[in-house]
Amino acid sequence: MISFCTATSDDLPEVLALLEVAQLPLAGVKEHLQNFILALDSDRIIGCAGLEIHEDAGLLRSVAVDEAYRLHGLGEKLTRGILELAQHQGLSSLSLLTTTAQNYFPRFGFVPIEPSQLPRSLNDSEELSGACPDTAVGMTLRL
Ligand SMILES: CC(C)(COP(=O)(O)OP(=O)(O)OC[C@H]1O[C@@H](n2cnc3c(N)ncnc32)[C@H](O)[C@@H]1OP(=O)(O)O)[C@@H](O)C(=O)NCCC(=O)NCCS
């Protein structure tokens, strides 16, 4: 039985473990965990997606689904959950960096953007300023 919920500080170790297996950055997760959505199978975390808020710009990060649960729409539900959260927060854009999924996010309306063109306030993000490799592709969506 799959369910969805918002993360609490107790979830940090399990979220970090999931991201580590998915080879995604861990920096900044703790600081933004209150804006993470989790997918659970009973009480086991099998997916997550996070939102960093920097002024009126959002960063979608840490979209990961346990390998055994992929291709069943969980990544989509988690991503759409963060989109709703970003809209609810009145953000003007949602951006992301990825080295692995630049062909996944266009289905939600994200378009490629030069990393130098990302909103300036996102420079405060640890993920953006170093935790993500230089080869990452930038993508953005106007809300
Ligand atoms: C990317 C990821 C979150 C997708 O989760 P998922 O639950 O398997 O995806 P969904 O079931 O919502 O979507 C499946 C569709 O996306 C496509 N897809 C899945 N991963 C993809 C990727 N990395 N690149 C391009 N397309 C991808 C599938 O082929 C499938 O396509 P279809 O609808 O045409 O059949 C998951 O593969 C994952 O955890 N990857 C490792 C971490 C990662 O790269 N995260 C993204 C960077 S933040």
Specify the CATH superfamily of domain 2-142.
Gcn5-related N-acetyltransferase (GNAT) (3.40.630.30)
Any ligand 1 atom below 6 A from CB of 46: no
| Number of neighbours of residue 102 by Cβ within 10 angstroms | 16
pLDDT tens-digit map of 82-94: 999 999 999 999 9
pLDDT at 130: 73
In the chain, what are the domain boundaries? 2-142
Q: Is the CB of 49 under 6 A from ligand 1?
A: no
Question: What is the CA angle 123-5-34, rounded to 5?
Answer: 30
Provide the token pair at 127.
């993920």
| Alpha-carbon gap, residue 121 to 47, rounded angstroms | 27
Q: In what order do the strands lie in the sheet with 111-113?
A: 2-6, 36-41, 44-54, 57-65, 93-98, 137-142, 111-113
The DSSP string of 85-129 is: HHHHTT-SEEEEEESS-TTTGGGGT-EEE-GGGS-GGGGG-TIII
- Give the pLDDT confidence score for residue 7 in this predicted structure: 98
Q: In this structure, which residue's CA is closest to atom 21 in ligand 1?
A: 104
Residue 135: pLDDT band with limits 50, 70, 90: confident
Residues 34-93: tens digit of each pLDDT: 999 999 999 999 999 999 999 999 999 999 999 999 999 999 999 999 999 999 999 999
Mean pLDDT estimate for the chain = 95
Ligand 1, from 21, 70, 94: best to mutate by most atoms within 8 Å of Cβ?
A: 70
98 in contact with ligand 1, CB cutoff 6 A: yes
pLDDT for residue 118: 92
* Bridge partners, residue 49, by sequence: 37
Return the residue whose CA atom lies nearest to atom 32 of ligand 1.
71
Give the count of beta carbons closer than 10 Å to the beta carbon of residue 80: 14
CB-based contacts of 110, cutoff 8 Å, min separation 6: 94, 96, 139, 140, 141
Q: Which residues pair with 47 in a beta bridge?
A: 39, 65
Mean per-residue pLDDT for 102-109? 98
pLDDT tier, 29 (very low <50, low <70, confident <90, very high otherwise): very high
What is the DSSP code (8-state) at residue 18?
H
> 37 or 115: which carries more pLDDT confidence?
37
